[in-house]
Structure 1
């Protein structure tokens, strides 16, 4: 039995949902999103909560049960609060700045890196060494943050690079004489 799947998804204040067949559409103050579940689960709207139940006892149906419930919960969270990833830049001369819809990164290369921000995501730079990625879709926010981090992942000797806020970088000892 899925411990996650058993719990109904409570909709926060200001969020409305509609279920039609296998599709859930959620509307809130930040926007609207929809998700289409597989045929292995049944979706039902009970007042202010959405419940997910498996259609059988197969391994796939039980796996889809918890995953579908989490996807619906992420829809509700996204349209009410949104998702946020914070990145830190460490290194001498490394900095970031927003210019319109383009994130300009100086990361020690011979050129500046121009990162085009996709639609549905907001990127801000409160400081030159901080990047905040926000949006209503958790997958897109995480992917954009990962793509930015790829430009200069933190290295283990000096710790220079782009890292998630609070991320621990395992440090290595350098050469010995």
Structure 2
């Protein structure tokens, strides 16, 4: 059995876990997430602890993958996930217009980003963006889409970067 799949998932208070014929649903205070039931993986809940097991030897890798995804789902509906982005550059600003994110990134036009369902965007300052949600994959995907509008360039470091991201700077050409 996979070492990852052997590790149990503790279900915090307020988190419900349900398995139907083809869906696995995790509900909590931050929302509800569902996953197509992985083939060959069995679920057992006892005393607020979820244990996964593979039905046969061929499904052992899938049990580990399913366990990692379900652990992220449980954490997401209980606490949520946040990704912080920073804008670096003169005149680079972010502001909220209702639920839409308005970015000034040095283009001739402002860039407007509409957040998908289940994602909350916030701008604590003009140069910070917080992407929050229950689905870890969706939070990362939205953060990557926002970053893609103006990736950090290697000469001056201007652009949108993840908080704490190190940009390897290049040396400019010498005459």
Q: Give the alignment's Cα RMSD to 1 decimal.
A: 1.2
- Give the counterpart of 1:99 among 97, 100, 115: 97
Instruction: Work out the CA distance in 2 between the residues paired with 1:120 and 1:71.
Output: 17
Structure 1 residue 21, shift from structure 2 partner: 4.3
* 1:44-55 → structure 2 map (5 Å cutoff): 44-55=44-55
SS at match of 2:124: coil
Structure 1, unaligned stretches of length 5 or more? none
CA contact (8 A) 1:11 1:48 kept: yes
Q: How many residues align?
A: 175
Question: Once structures 1 and 2 are overlaid, which stretch shifts more, 93-102 or 9-18?
Answer: 9-18
Q: TM-score normalized by structure 1?
A: 0.94
CA contact (8 A) 1:22 1:42 kept: no
CA contact (8 A) 1:30 1:82 kept: yes
Structure 2, unaligned stretches of length 5 or more? none
Counterpart for residue 88 of structure 2: 90
Instruction: Work out the CA distance in 1 between the residues paired with 2:115 and 2:34.
Output: 22
* 1:44-123 → structure 2 map (5 Å cutoff): 44-58=44-58, 61-123=59-121
Q: Deviations over 1:32-68 (max 9, x none)?
A: 222222212111222211111111112xx12211110
Structure 1 residue 105, shift from structure 2 partner: 0.4
